[in-house]
Structure 1
Amino acid sequence: MSLDERSKNILDELISNPSITSTTLENKYSISRRQLGYSFNKINDWLTSMNLPVIERTRKGCFIIDQSVFTNLHKEEDQAFVEMAVLTENERVYLILMMLVSSKEELSLNHFTAELEVSKNTVLNDLKQAQSYLNEYDLTIRYSRKAGYVLEGKEFQIRKLLINVTYQLLHMNVTEHKLMEVSSIKTDEREEFSQRIFNLENKLNIKITDEKMATMPYILILILRRIQQGHELQLFSIKYEELSHTKEYQATEAIFQDQTEIPVQERLFFTLHLLTTNVYWSEYLTEDHTTQQLIPVINNMLRLFEKSACVYLQDREQLVSKLLQHIKPAFYRIKYQLTETIDIQGAMNKELKELQHLVKRSISPLKDFIGKAIPESEISFITMLVGGWMRRQGESLEKKTKAIVVCPQGVSVSRLMFSELSELFPGFVFLDSLSVREFLNYELEYDLVFSPTYLETDKKLFISKPFLSEEEKYRLRKQVMLEIHGYIPNHLNAQHLIDIVKNHAEIKNEKALTEALQSYIERDEESSVSKPVKSKDINLDQLIPHGNIKLRDSVSSWEEAVRLSSRPLLEQGKIEREYVESMIQRSNEDPYIVIGSGIAIPHAAPDEGVNEVSMSMLRLKRGVNFTADYHINLVIVIAAVDKQQHIHALMQLMKLAGSEKDKQRMINAATVEEIYEILKLYSNEKELENTQ
């Protein structure tokens, strides 16, 4: 006899958690007391047929299970339980897919019913589910009387399917015996290829993870079978010169040494499979060209992460090496779209989800290097590695003050406010800048809210203007720090100081010195409140003089608008041509340069060709389209040399962007002088207040 799926799940639960009660089982599986009783009787009938003691149920709804039941059902060689139990729909679907990619003969409906031990109607329904799964691979199940059931589509996609299905089946309750049965793989065949993979480890001086070690013999056997059946890969995006120099290619040649008829593209595909395989130890990670390119990319990612998470990661070289072991195979998986869609979100606790949010914000160097978006599953693995490293050094996001910025005044204003506050409170983890609607549905945990408007929240709320003067920044920092800490801490980090001292002196007792420095930094005294020295502010009319203003009715494209607006700064030598091209490139990636209806501020990084802080303006009466969403009339180029000098003028420009009346005056202006007078108005706060 066999167990139905529900009874099998309940027995699994009882074996893994014998202290569970009847009520808990009923709630977990959404069943009635009668349904539980029915399943319980089925389980005991099955145990009796296996010559095992039945499970007793007490009056209080607890269970008494004989030790022999645990012993027999946990024996590795005793597969009777799994094999006799009815396969779930998900398991049947994956077995059908395995039969389709591995079959040596034509497949009929009878083949499926015999292997899966279900009715024809059930198989037909399972085939529909299988097709649903295949849609993401662009593959189709076709039936004909001559060929039976076959897969149609690109062979590269079928190979991806083969790899993923093998992995999934070995992580289900399906036994290796069942997998070998449906794929027609013999034990001695599997053992031979397992030995080849073991030899490959020695050749490459690596240790492949256990789960990959288990799947690779099956994958290798089935790929070779498909090649022998004439299902060869066509030319695809992998170039011989990209992979032929790798040790993995040499190892592939060794594996295929007795297979003389294997085409080059097939050898490249298996090389790629080796390159995408996770390892937990390697001797040669710093040797090849790809690795050398990835090391600075990972370092840049970590720097961005440290800034976002307000942490200092110790033993960076070791962490880079550990990340490299995952990111190198991930590089090939992402580049050639072989990433496995494994959902590990459910395994993440609250802190790891917050950490992943910050990792995702720091992943841009890797995304830019590969030229493709990084899948969630790869980000999750990186998050778990970084999270483990932080726990090892005693760091935790739980100990950090987490803040969000909520601004109803548009994306650009919100983002600028987020940036300003992040700099003002370098010890806080700023999670996000949000609209009010996003705030109402925000799921991550946070401690503080900064907003220019009142919000209903049970967290500490600080009302802050989007643009703060130096005096306002000082007052806000003092208010927040007194509320959070009861005093104003200095902008110092004890571990950073220790690292500086290490470079210039020998430390006899690092722990004692760290504690002494920390105690000094966090002393509670008024003298620790330091007011920043106010630098001379540069006004908007000073950065955009008459000669930096251009008037046009229209231009043919956004790129022309940026080049035309930049011309005065180029002619004055304040920027280089590379800065103009960088602005255009960044504009395509970043719609946040639109700061208000009809106004855009293209800009790039200071090190991309800025010689002196400066601004210039192009007025377009009829405007120009920027992406499909924005129509721009005022293009203001900003060339910043640092994060400070242009900020005062930018704040004045943001106030101007908020006045529809003055924007229209500038758009319709007949002369440069008219526009300059408006800029002068916003450069003089007292005069501006008198006009409003």
Structure 2
Amino acid sequence: MPLKERSQKILDELVSNPSITSTALEKKHNLSRRQLGYSINKINDWLMSKNLPVIERTRQGHFIINQSVFTKLNGEEKNVAVETNIFSENQRVQLIIMMLLSYYEELSLNHFTAELDVSKNTVLSDMKEVQSYIGEYDLAIRYTRKAGYLIEGKEFQVRKLLINVTYQLLQMSTGKNKMMEIANIEKTDIEEFTKRIEKVENTLHLKFTDEKMEAMPYVLLLILRRIERGNEINSFSIEYEELSDTKEYQATEEILYDIKDIPVSERLFITLHLLTTNVYSSNFLADEAIPNLIPAIDNMLRLFEKSACIYLQDREQLLDKLLQHIKPAYYRIKYQLTGTVDIQNSLSKEFSELHHLVKRSTGPLSELIGSEIPESETTFITMLIGGWMTRQGDSIDKKVKAIVVCPQGVSVSKLMFNELSELFPEFIFLDSLSVREFLDYQFDYDIVFSPTFLETKKKLFVSKAFLGREEKYRLRKQVMLELHGYIPNHINVDHLIDMIKHHAVIENEKALMEELQQYINRDEGSSVKQDAKLNDSNLDELITPKTITVRSSIPSWEEAIRISAQPLVASGKIDPQYVEAMIANYDHDPYIVIGPNIAIPHAAPEEGVNEVGMSLLRLQEGVNFTDEHCINLVIVIAAVDKQRHIHALMQLMKLSGSERDRNRIIEASSIKEIHDIIQLYSVD
């Protein structure tokens, strides 16, 4: 009983993206709720015919898929979907562009119809999409009877297009073979350039990501082909002095050692391609080729700490990790090559909020490079900083041994490693690996987490690199049921007490033991949700009527901080020394001003914070913070950790962006009226 086309597409979607919701599926495939339900029933009938567990749906529209379904479909059932030569419109567009970039002969409509097996009308329609696509690179298609179809524009822009399309085509299931066919690339050439690039890895003491390593031989061969045909980069703003002394330039010389007549500008372009390629790991912790890069990253981190009201631990280690990613990003941004960076996942809700704060902190990098930091690059920085914030130490007990295998580079890999370590504290996470490292991994392990399918005899759990709250809950349930047949909740409290004694003085051991027992033995089904909820305090839960103070005017900024903080001092959430620390630490620091008339003084948690909280002082007549800033709303923030206040802080920033509601609070006649306005911004 084969599946019909629609049901097969939905099953493929669920297997490749198990976190997708019913609503998203309906929208993506233009289905009604009834049609989707019918297809799910047909899929479940087919699964049962294969002795596989059915797919369940929750009330919230999420899907629960047993791991054996992934394993079966990835193994002997992998060929259920018959491979065809039918390409989607987007794939045809990519293939047409590759033909235009790589063919030796003049191209007519007949070439495209024969290669893609579609009608001339379909090709003509696709050509409009091709023009739209390459138009973003300031390129255009031209047709003449003598030369056929051509791409016209600056060669540097053509190279950007070539690199991007190569990466896109290699993501297709048959992309590698199709690339070699239409571009007339020999397998021996790919193998030779792969060897040369691996030698470069050894020379530079780094490892390129799996995706980049796969694509680089194709990119280099196609670039050399364009040079051979006379399509050279003539006017190019690459600074010779900046690149010629780099290790990557020497590596380029090694790659091209037996290829003659390559102009210096082309050698510099290939050097730039090496410099802008993401790396999985590197032995270099500093880089002298980019003056002031480390101070710029350090300043970015300091601004992020102030903006997010947090204080990152082990900053030097984080600085090294950021340097490893930002060095190639520096060259990508400076020479406008960020179009080749592919973000394959969307940020989770928690990371989206962090992303906003990171974007506000990238000024030092932007100033160093001389241009704004693109969204894709900021996203990678967010992932790395967010992963650092959520990391935990490994357990020393002998438990399930897990590894994380991720082909997407060091930033995504480390984030995934830390997220899973947090979600499964009872497991020992040995390493995060690239796919190539995984193939040669020597240590024993029990399970593998990966965002992609892998050939392994061990238990494989396919998981996104970063997960939302509900996705974490479902993955934990799926893993525990697969490993144990139940969700274990037994934790040795005596062992926990011993660990706590090792690091702290326990005043009442009996009371602590009782509370730990109550916490551990609560309903497991809600445990993940409760833990995650700690990160999501809304603004109206922190700023309550009891923590709002109304005054007509205050004589000084220092006094404004003291009066604003008084409700938190009175409730014991902060100590008096925290108030003095805020005044001392942020004397005339404009970064705490988050919008017109609004400021958020705060200090380090260790300077006197006992419990997370916020308090608000409303002044009808503003107090001068500096000559440039007159403040009417002073919100004191007391943060006990790196996460709990961030959700409320994001809501406060939305409020600060509304001139109308800021003025309504300033002119409000009562505390209740102020709190009512705050509640408008206290929803997810």
- What range is the shorter-chain TM-score in? 0.5 to 0.7
Instruction: Confirm whether residue 350 of structure 1 aligns to residue 438 of structure 2.
Output: no
Contact residue 5 and residue 85 of structure 1 kept, 8 A: no
The residue aligned with 1:144 is 144
How far, CA to CA, are the matches of 1:215 and 1:493 in structure 2?
Answer: 56
Distance 1:362 1:35, change over 3 A: closer
Which residue identity does 2:352 align to in structure 1?
Answer: K
SS of 2:257's equivalent? coil
Instruction: Confirm whether residue 340 of structure 1 aligns to residue 339 of structure 2.
Output: yes
Which residue identity does 1:183 align to in structure 2?
Answer: A
Instruction: Confirm whether residue 490 of structure 1 aligns to residue 573 of structure 2.
Output: no
How does the TM-score come out when normalised to structure 1? 0.55
The residue aligned with 1:256 is 256
Compute the displacement of 1:93 (Å).
1.3
The residue aligned with 1:615 is none
How far, CA to CA, are the matches of 1:518 and 1:307 in structure 2?
Answer: 12
Greater Cα offset, 265-274 or 180-189: 180-189
The residue aligned with 2:111 is 111
Report Cα offsets for 1:181-218 as digits up to 9, x if no partner.
22221222211111111111111111111111111011
Contact residue 351 and residue 386 of structure 2 kept, 8 A: yes
Compute the displacement of 1:333 (Å).
0.5
The residue aligned with 2:218 is 218
Compute the displacement of 1:471 (Å).
3.9
The residue aligned with 1:241 is 241
SS of 1:300's equivalent? helix
Contact residue 360 and residue 379 of structure 1 kept, 8 A: yes
Which residue identity does 1:479 align to in structure 2?
Answer: P
The residue aligned with 1:474 is 562
How far, CA to CA, are the matches of 2:628 and 2:81 in structure 1?
Answer: 63
Contact residue 82 and residue 173 of structure 1 kept, 8 A: no
Contact residue 107 and residue 148 of structure 1 kept, 8 A: yes
How far, CA to CA, are the matches of 1:265 and 1:341 in structure 2?
Answer: 20
Which residue identity does 1:358 align to in structure 2?
Answer: L
Contact residue 205 and residue 282 of structure 2 kept, 8 A: yes
Compute the displacement of 1:154 (Å).
0.4
Compute the displacement of 1:447 (Å).
4.1
Report Cα offsets for 1:441-484 as digits up to 9, x if no partner.
xxx9874489xxxx9x999766566876344432221025546x
SS of 2:338's equivalent? coil
How far, CA to CA, are the matches of 2:3 and 2:559 in structure 1?
Answer: 74
Compute the displacement of 1:9 (Å).
2.2
How far, CA to CA, are the matches of 1:353 and 1:180 in structure 2?
Answer: 39
Contact residue 351 and residue 382 of structure 2 kept, 8 A: yes
Report Cα offsets for 1:417-459 as digits up to 9, x if no partner.
xxxxxxxxxxxxxxxxxxxxxxxxxxx9874489xxxx9x999
The residue aligned with 2:655 is none
Structure 2: segments with no counterpart, 5+ residues: 394-417, 420-534, 582-603, 612-622, 632-684
Compute the displacement of 1:143 (Å).
1.3
Which residue identity does 2:233 align to in structure 1?
Answer: L
Instruction: Confirm whether residue 289 of structure 1 aligns to residue 376 of structure 2.
Output: no
Which protein shows a greater Rg? 1
Which residue identity does 1:208 align to in structure 2?
Answer: F
How far, CA to CA, are the matches of 1:168 and 1:128 in structure 2?
Answer: 19
Compute the displacement of 1:6 (Å).
4.8
How far, CA to CA, are the matches of 1:57 and 1:77 in structure 2?
Answer: 15
SS of 1:137's equivalent? coil
Distance 1:91 1:391, change over 3 A: same
Contact residue 5 and residue 87 of structure 1 kept, 8 A: no
Contact residue 306 and residue 313 of structure 1 kept, 8 A: yes
How far, CA to CA, are the matches of 2:75 and 2:371 in structure 1?
Answer: 46
How far, CA to CA, are the matches of 1:15 and 1:229 in structure 2?
Answer: 44
Which residue identity does 1:491 align to in structure 2?
Answer: Y
Which residue identity does 1:232 align to in structure 2?
Answer: E
How far, CA to CA, are the matches of 2:54 and 2:281 in structure 1?
Answer: 51
Compute the displacement of 1:330 (Å).
0.6
The residue aligned with 1:586 is none
Contact residue 249 and residue 267 of structure 2 kept, 8 A: yes
Report Cα offsets for 1:212-253 as digits up to 9, x if no partner.
111101100100111111111113101222211111010100
Structure 1: segments with no counterpart, 5+ residues: 48-52, 397-443, 495-516, 525-537, 544-591, 597-692
How far, CA to CA, are the matches of 1:274 and 1:188 in structure 2?
Answer: 22
Compute the displacement of 1:487 (Å).
5.6
The residue aligned with 2:170 is 170
Report Cα offsets for 1:311-343 as digits up to 9, x if no partner.
222222211111011111111011100013657
How many aligned residue pairs are there? 449
Alignment of 1:393-412 (within 5 A): none
Contact residue 193 and residue 217 of structure 2 kept, 8 A: yes
How far, CA to CA, are the matches of 1:460 and 1:295 in structure 2?
Answer: 41
Report Cα offsets for 1:266-307 as digits up to 9, x if no partner.
0000000001011122223425331x5211111111111112
Which residue identity does 1:314 align to in structure 2?
Answer: Q
Contact residue 155 and residue 231 of structure 2 kept, 8 A: yes
The residue aligned with 1:299 is 298
Distance 1:158 1:70, change over 3 A: same
Instruction: Confirm whether residue 309 of structure 1 aligns to residue 341 of structure 2.
Output: no
Report Cα offsets for 1:130-157 as digits up to 9, x if no partner.
1111111100011111111110000000
Instruction: Confirm whether residue 204 of structure 1 aligns to residue 204 of structure 2.
Output: yes
Which residue identity does 2:320 align to in structure 1?
Answer: S
How far, CA to CA, are the matches of 1:165 and 1:77 in structure 2?
Answer: 30
Which residue identity does 1:125 align to in structure 2?
Answer: S
Instruction: Confirm whether residue 372 of structure 1 aligns to residue 371 of structure 2.
Output: yes
Kindly indicate whether structure 1 or structure 2 has the higher relative contact order, using CA contacts under 8 Å at least 6 residues apart.
2
SS of 1:373's equivalent? coil
The residue aligned with 1:381 is 380
Over the aligned positions, Cα root-mean-square deviation in angstroms equals: 4.9
Instruction: Confirm whether residue 362 of structure 1 aligns to residue 450 of structure 2.
Output: no
How far, CA to CA, are the matches of 1:66 and 1:518 in structure 2?
Answer: 43
Contact residue 308 and residue 358 of structure 1 kept, 8 A: yes
The residue aligned with 1:134 is 134
Distance 1:69 1:191, change over 3 A: farther
SS of 2:311's equivalent? coil
How far, CA to CA, are the matches of 1:57 and 1:210 in structure 2?
Answer: 33
Contact residue 208 and residue 278 of structure 2 kept, 8 A: yes
Distance 1:114 1:8, change over 3 A: farther
